[in-house]
């Protein structure tokens, strides 16, 4: 019977998983073999899975290695479309920044004119009157 997995061993196994090389397939049997080779202790997959940190690190690194192995297919058309979209979005950002600046300048002008007329912030923040849109009443 193998000794219990201590916190120190859990940390070592998580570190081993986090440093797993891209060229080596990650499986439970490979991981158990590498644990024995590097850390000099051997446990079953079931014993390792009982420890949440080890199971989580295994799943996280399995996903990391799988995502890294998927080649990104970028062709000329994809890059061109992306560049055009970036250009459009950059232009849109410039237009929105300009509109925002214009509105800020207008607000400052209105605030100055309102304070010169003695209008308070409470007066300016009054709700709009209710619009009566009853179609039965014709003028």
pTM of the model: 0.49
Q: How many CA atoms lie within 13 A of 124 on its CB side?
A: 12
What is the phi-psi region of residue 72: left when phi exceeds 0, alpha when psi lies from -120 to 50, beta otherwise?
A: beta
Compute the distance between CA of residue 23 and CA of residue 26 in angstroms, rounded to an integer.
9
Per the structure block, which two tokens stand in for 77?
């058309």
Taking only the tens place, the pLDDT of each residue in 77-122 is: 788 888 999 999 999 999 999 999 999 999 999 999 999 999 988 9
Q: Which of 1-5, 51-55, 59-63, 107-111 has the lowest mean pLDDT?
A: 1-5
Per the structure block, which two tokens stand in for 72?
């990104």
């Amino acid at each position: 019977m193998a000794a219990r997995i201590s916190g120190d061993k859990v940390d070592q196994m998580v570190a081993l998983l986090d440093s797993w090389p891209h060229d080596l397939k990650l499986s439970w049997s490979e991981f158990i073999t590498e644990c024995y080779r590097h850390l000099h202790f051997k446990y079953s997959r079931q014993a390792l899975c009982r420890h949440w940190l080890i199971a989580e690190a295994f799943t996280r690194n399995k996903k990391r290695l799988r995502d890294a192995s998927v080649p990104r297919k970028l062709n000329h058309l994809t890059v061109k479309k992306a560049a055009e979209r970036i250009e459009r979005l950059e232009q849109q950002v410039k237009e929105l920044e300009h509109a925002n600046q214009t509105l800020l300048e207008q607000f400052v002008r209105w605030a100055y004119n309102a304070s010169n007329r003695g209008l308070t912030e409470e007066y300016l923040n009054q709700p709009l009157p209710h619009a009566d849109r009853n179609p039965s009443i014709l003028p």
